[in-house]
């Protein structure tokens, strides 16, 4: 019985790694589409979003089979419960990457009101957070998960910089307003992606310690 359980947990790890890779790719493609003003990336992003959604369903189904067949307790139960939360946040990141690309479509063909610098940095930071979160899950690395949580401050600080710069551009010329608001919305989506990556790391901490910032200890 335990041997089959271990096989299922191995598949769970592998599936989560695959979902994380799809999410990283979605963030990278959304950033690339923005920087290059490439509206043609939308079709690929939609396909990626579908793949992420399907992976969420597959992992959810596997988790439910484990719960029904193995009736895990203590640490094993925390692990499966955490995965069900993690995949929800990863799926939402995929949605937000698609939303970014939709806005990019509106901006295609128009010169940017400023050189994009900090928004791509936000994208890079969030990709790092997702990658490190999945790594922390697979390696059961509490310190790495906590580092991801702390790294969200980098994304938040970048968002504040972008917001200040865009407000200044609107103040100087009201004609910058429409595009500035679009860019601010994109930055906000990346900031939310950072929040979801933080949630992932927090659930990893829970799976390892039984402690979550918004919940009580589960044995």
Q: Is the pLDDT of residue 85 over 80?
A: yes
In this prediction, residue 178 carries a pLDDT of 94
In this prediction, residue 1 carries a pLDDT of 60
Report whether 206 contacts 140 (CB < 8 A).
no
Q: Is the pLDDT of residue 217 over 60?
A: no
- The count of residues in the chain is 219
In this prediction, residue 218 carries a pLDDT of 45
d(CA 24, CA 26): 5
Assign residue 212 a region (left: φ > 0; alpha: ψ between -120 and 50; beta: otherwise).
beta
In this prediction, residue 215 carries a pLDDT of 60
CATH superfamily for domain 2-209 = Phosphate transport system protein phou homolog 2; domain 2 (1.20.58.220)
In this prediction, residue 5 carries a pLDDT of 79
State the pTM of this model: 0.92
- Residue 158: closest CA among 135, 132, 189: 189
Beta bridge partners of 215: 212
- Backbone φ and ψ for 215, nearest 5 degrees, come out as -145, 170
Beta bridge partners of 212: 215
E strands, 13-129, in order: none
For a pLDDT cut of 90, what percent of the chain falls above it? 77
Q: What is the mean pLDDT of residues 125-148?
A: 95
Q: Is the pLDDT of residue 219 over 60?
A: no
Locate the domains of the chain by residue range. 2-209
d(CA 69, CA 111): 57
């Amino acid at each position: 019985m335990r041997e089959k359980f271990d096989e299922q947990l191995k598949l769970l790890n592998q599936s989560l790694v695959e979902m994380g890779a799809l999410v990283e790719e979605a963030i990278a493609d959304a950033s690339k589409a923005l920087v290059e003003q490439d509206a043609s990336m939308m079709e690929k992003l939609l396909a990626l979003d579908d793949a992420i959604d399907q992976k969420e369903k597959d992992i959810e189904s596997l988790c439910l089979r484990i719960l029904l067949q193995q009736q895990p307790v203590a640490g094993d139960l925390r692990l499966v419960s955490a995965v069900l939360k993690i995949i929800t946040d990863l799926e939402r990141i995929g949605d937000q990457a698609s939303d970014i690309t939709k806005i990019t479509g509106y901006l295609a063909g128009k010169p940017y009101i400023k050189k994009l610098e900090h928004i791509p940095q936000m994208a890079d930071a969030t990709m790092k957070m997702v990658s490190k979160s999945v790594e922390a899950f697979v390696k059961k690395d509490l310190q790495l998960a906590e580092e991801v949580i702390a790294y969200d401050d980098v994304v938040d600080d970048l968002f504040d910089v972008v917001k200040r710069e865009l407000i200044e551009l609107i103040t100087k010329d009201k004609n910058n307003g429409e595009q500035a608001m679009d860019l601010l919305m994109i930055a906000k989506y990346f900031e939310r992606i950072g929040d979801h990556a933080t949630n992932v790391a927090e659930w990893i901490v829970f799976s390892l310690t039984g402690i979550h910032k918004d919940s009580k200890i589960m044995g």
